[in-house]
Amino acid sequence: CKYLCFPSVNLYYFNNEKSLKKFPLTIKVWSSFCSHIKLVDSHYCPSCLENMPSAEAKLKKNRCANCFDCPGCMHTLSTRATSISTQLPDDPAKTTMKKAYYLACGFCRWTSRDVGMADKSVASGGWQEPENPHTQRMNKLIEYYQQLAQKEKVERDRKKLARRRNYMPLAFSQHTIHVVVTCFLPFFLVTTLQQRLLQPDFQPVCASQLYPRHKHLLIKRSLRCRKCEHNLSKPEFNPTSIKFKIQLVAVNYIPEVRIMSIPNLRYMKESQVLLTLTNPVENLTHVTLLDTAKVGAFCLSLSDPHFPWTFRKANKVGIFIKVTPQREEGEVTVCFKMKHDFKNLAAPIRPIEESDQGTEVIWLTQHVELSLGPLLP
């Protein structure tokens, strides 16, 4: 049968008793409890799609070893090669062609030569990020404070109050009297704030100081239930794969309510809306629709609690509901509860000797809110 697609969204409420959280059906993750924890699963580079173990990611500060970002427009840099003729070491008269590599941006035309980086003789591995000039001083400072911290710890262990002590003067910082820069650079040679902030250690003002950085990695996340600690969603380890190892998504277990046709809705006029219910699981599911107390401002009472089905096809059932808008204008929203039985196939199977019941059947109730669109005058 033909499916009419409406822009209205079906929303399910989660965990009705405790909190009303709406999730669009397609991205809801099923769990008997509402909140879930997100965990970092695997690191990978978005450009070369190479997986990186977390220890290495930590060492490389979450940056890819091979790929670079353009410091101007943040696009991925590509390595280009030119051939240059160089003199042979043995015989200065003869020349040979050698390859020289440089980085270039396909989008904004920036090249590594713009900042004075020399061409490298190897395609990858030759490019280095500059080091922070303050590293030495920083390390000394940390050492100094570590000493203070140790002293404090020792005193604390002795259960005495921390005494004030004379701090030794250390040749750490320098004073500078700043001189005003009176020369004004042409505008296009000054870096934008965004370009500057991408390099927190240097934040260069001049575009000629903008060096490329290694590309930042992305992660794949897995979700776990906060209460029962079950894994809800676990993606494949391979960065190129979009599949999931574990994927417990509501749409695979809970019957789906879709709107099939909406007649013209008018104030205080009863009209029939055609809905379909789709059963995603292989076993027979019993569904009961119950009226619910008014939740939103436009909720309306369903006039007939027993909804006759109109058609049935495979795992889909069509039902009519009678809708009477209670307000003169605005969006019409229908709320009801859907009670369905659910076989928990994920639960451990009991040994057959103990009981003959098979898997458990529990009844779940979902809040459904359907947005039927605006009222006609």
Partner 1 sequence: MPLYEGLGSGGEKTAVVIDLGEAFTKCGFAGETGPRCIIPSVIKRAGMPKPVRVVQYNINTEELYSYLKEFIHILYFRHLLVNPRDRRVVIIESVLCPSHFRETLTRVLFKYFEVPVFISNNRYRESGCIASKLETQLLEQCTVDTSAAKEQSSLCSIVINYDLKRGLKIQAAKFNIDGNNERPSPPPNVDYPLDGEKILHVLGSIRFSCGNSFEQDNEEKSVATLILDSLIQCPIDTRKQLAENLVVVGGTSMLPGFLHRLLAEIRYLVEKPKYKKVLGTKTFRIHTPPAKANCVAWLGGAIFGALQDILGSRSVSKEYYNQTGRIPDWCSLNNPPLEMMFDVGKTQPPLMKRAFSTEK
List of residues contacting partner 1 (CB under 8 A): 37-40, 43, 57-59, 61-62, 132, 134-135, 137-139, 141-143, 145-146, 149-150, 152-153, 156, 159, 167, 169-182, 184-185, 187, 190-194, 196-197, 200-201, 203, 205, 216-219, 221
CB of 13 to partner 1, least distance (A): 18
Which phi and psi (to 5°) does residue 114 adopt? -65, -30
Residues sharing a CB contact under 8 Å with residue 335, sequence separation 6 or more, in sequence order? 292, 294, 295, 296, 299, 367, 368, 369, 370
CB of 194 to partner 1, least distance (A): 7
CB of 133 to partner 1, least distance (A): 9
* Shorter beta-carbon distance to partner 1: residue 172 or 351: 172
* Shorter beta-carbon distance to partner 1: residue 149 or 361: 149
* Shorter beta-carbon distance to partner 1: residue 191 or 233: 191
* Shorter beta-carbon distance to partner 1: residue 43 or 120: 43
CB of 280 to partner 1, least distance (A): 27
* Shorter beta-carbon distance to partner 1: residue 18 or 98: 18
**What is the C-alpha separation between 79 and 103, in angstroms, rounded?**
5
* Shorter beta-carbon distance to partner 1: residue 59 or 361: 59
Which phi and psi (to 5°) does residue 49 adopt? 55, 35
CB of 302 to partner 1, least distance (A): 30
CB of 146 to partner 1, least distance (A): 6
CA neighbor of 127 nearest in space, from 104, 97, 150, 158: 104
**What is the C-alpha separation between 276 and 258, in angstroms, rounded?**
5
CA neighbor of 56 nearest in space, from 43, 68, 46: 43
* Shorter beta-carbon distance to partner 1: residue 38 or 99: 38
* Shorter beta-carbon distance to partner 1: residue 184 or 357: 184
CB of 238 to partner 1, least distance (A): 18
**Beta partners for 98?**
84
**What is the C-alpha separation between 241 and 233, in angstroms, rounded?**
14
* Shorter beta-carbon distance to partner 1: residue 59 or 108: 59
Which phi and psi (to 5°) does residue 20 adopt? -100, 100
CB of 220 to partner 1, least distance (A): 10
CB of 232 to partner 1, least distance (A): 16
**Sign of the torsion angle spanned by Cα atoms 288, 292, 297, 301:** positive
Residue 111 contacts residue 52 (beta carbons within 8 Å)? no
Helix (H) / strand (E) element for 154: namely helix 135-157
Which phi and psi (to 5°) does residue 14 adopt? -105, 135
For the record, the structure tokens of 105 come out as 């941006």
Please give the order of strands across the beta sheet that includes 36-44: 51-52, 36-44, 218-225, 231-235, 244-247
**What is the C-alpha separation between 310 and 260, in angstroms, rounded?**
12
* Shorter beta-carbon distance to partner 1: residue 41 or 341: 41
**Sign of the torsion angle spanned by Cα atoms 293, 297, 303, 305:** negative
**Beta partners for 214?**
68
CB of 221 to partner 1, least distance (A): 6
